[in-house]
Chains A and B, each alone.
Chain A
Amino acid sequence: MEQETLFPLLRGTAQGNREDFAELYKVASPQVFAVVLKLLKHKELAEEATQDAFIKVWHNAANYQRARGTVLTWIISIARYRALDMLRYQRVRKTEDTEPDSMASDEENNFELEAKLSHPKLESCLDELDAQQRQAIHLAYFNGLSHLEVVQHLSSPLGTIKSWIRRGLVSLQRCLSL
């Protein structure tokens, strides 16, 4: 999804143009919805997170800065933070019908991305990570798992998982900044 397409729409949104906002929603919402749906694994919650994120986009469009990444990355950030908050609420409440499904299934461990990343360097830097580091980061990013949950998921000691995540992130940062 091109920044060249989304940025003018966000600029129009910041100026109060509803048609631009509608187009921005039309173009960006499927990607945003995919991210929060994978994280929350609950359709209604994912709908709510998407809805809340775009309301925030409408109100805060003028605050977007290029330093925050592409328009799509920025919107995904907003939606993902909202989804993480919702995920924590659900876990605190231990609501049965929002428990993630089949947490331990093989499918959950499959993080083959369906599309090319718009950030090709990110893709190559992720490939350079150790398999465990990559899997721990993927689990945390896509499933919103805390350290402890990653431990349960990967059946490894907490210290090891923390170390995989931290080392993985350090390596990722080093690779991306080269």
Chain B
Amino acid sequence: MNYAKETLCNALAAEYVLGTLKGKARQRYETLMMENQTIRETTWLWEQHLNGLGEGLKPVQPPPSVWNNIQQKLGWVAQSDNVVTLKPEKSNSKRWQVLAGLSTAAVLLIVLLMPLTQPTVEPNISSVAVVTDQAHQPLWLIELSDNHIFTRATSNLVAQQNKDYELWMVPDDGSAPVSLGLLPKTGDVQLVRPSQLTLAGVSALAVSLEPLGGSPSGSPTEVLYISPLTKV
């Protein structure tokens, strides 16, 4: 690498780590990093330089819920007592009307699963979605309450072990999808619904195939399924 290229490489790496390299330039740089060892190593060097700054900040203890969520997302803990899974709501006939409009298989599956759960808290479910594959087999059941997203993998799901499945909200206005978290490969996972998101202007959920741990770029890597979100 000649001097000019080395200087450019250093400048790009530094701005990438700093965060001032943005948009398409940032995406192009991420591609370059994948292809070029020198660029990757230069980036690592700047990570060492600049992220040393972060070590100078006074530590702040995160709340215990963060560790609890990590364990849940890694599938290490069963759903705790206060975690709510799919369940029937006696008084909510409208919800059943909506479910009646979903695929027969999906509804049948929900009906079969619901009696199995004994929730301790009554969630205020506002929307539901059933993610189905191309053959319309339900893969995940998803319910949204004011604060949480309840997800359950069905037995139809044949999950790739070296990949994760990430759930996204797809805004109507064409803006970028917003990650809601990783879906379970088996069993239930309760995700925290981002408080800044409202359902107005969101009509669909998407599921993407991602490297383990979720999207490395913040955008869906490979969208597999899109499912309409239905208010109840």
**Knowing A52-B214, A114-B57, A115-B56 touch, does A73 contact B18 (C-beta < 8 A)?**
no
| Bound Cα distance A137, B70 (Å) | 32
Within 8 A of A (CB), among B191-216: 192, 194-197, 212-214
Instruction: Assess whether A118 is in contact with B66, with CB atoms less than 8 Å apart.
Output: no
Interface size class of A (residues with CB under 8 A): 35 or more
Instruction: Assess whether B212 is in contact with A38, with CB atoms less than 8 Å apart.
Output: no
B146 CB → nearest A CB, Å: 14
Q: Does B63 contact A (CB under 8 A)?
A: yes
The residue that B59 contacts in the complex, of A30, A45, A65, A145, with Cβ under 8 A, is A30
Q: Does B73 contact A (CB under 8 A)?
A: yes
| Bound Cα distance A97, B196 (Å) | 7
Chain B residues within an 8 Å CB radius of A122: 49, 52-53
Chain B residues within an 8 Å CB radius of A89: 176, 178, 218
Instruction: Assess whether A35 is in contact with B54, with CB atoms less than 8 Å apart.
Output: yes
Q: Does A127 contact B (CB under 8 A)?
A: no
Which residue from chain A places its CB closest to the CB of B162 in the assembled complex? Answer: A59
Q: Does A47 contact B (CB under 8 A)?
A: yes
Q: Does A155 contact B (CB under 8 A)?
A: no
**Knowing A56-B213, A74-B47, A90-B196 touch, does A85 contact B60 (C-beta < 8 A)?**
no
Which residue from chain B places its CB closest to the CB of A168 in the assembled complex? Answer: B14
Which residue from chain B places its CB closest to the CB of A117 in the assembled complex? Answer: B56
Which residue from chain B places its CB closest to the CB of A177 in the assembled complex? Answer: B45
| Bound Cα distance A145, B20 (Å) | 7
Instruction: Assess whether B19 is in contact with A84, with CB atoms less than 8 Å apart.
Output: yes
Within 8 A of A (CB), among B7-64: 7, 10-11, 14-15, 17-20, 22, 41, 44, 47-63
B61 CB → nearest A CB, Å: 5
Instruction: Assess whether B55 is in contact with A119, with CB atoms less than 8 Å apart.
Output: yes
Instruction: Assess whether B20 is in contact with A165, with CB atoms less than 8 Å apart.
Output: yes
Chain A residues within an 8 Å CB radius of B11: 166, 169-170
Which residue from chain A places its CB closest to the CB of B215 in the assembled complex? Answer: A85
Q: Does A103 contact B (CB under 8 A)?
A: no
Which residue from chain B places its CB closest to the CB of A37 in the assembled complex? Answer: B60
| Bound Cα distance A35, B60 (Å) | 9
| Bound Cα distance A173, B7 (Å) | 10
| Bound Cα distance A44, B61 (Å) | 13
Instruction: Assess whether A73 is in contact with B51, with CB atoms less than 8 Å apart.
Output: yes
**Knowing A89-B218, A114-B58 touch, does A173 contact B14 (C-beta < 8 A)?**
yes
Partner-B contacts on A (CB < 8 A)? 1, 18, 22, 25, 29-31, 33-35, 37-38, 44-48, 50-52, 54-56, 58-60, 65, 67-70, 72-74, 76-77, 80, 82, 84-86, 88-90, 92-93, 95, 97-98, 113-119, 122-123, 126, 137-138, 140-142, 144-147, 150, 165-166, 169-170, 172-173, 176
Cβ-closest 5 pairs across A and B? A85-B218, A113-B56, A30-B59, A69-B48, A114-B58
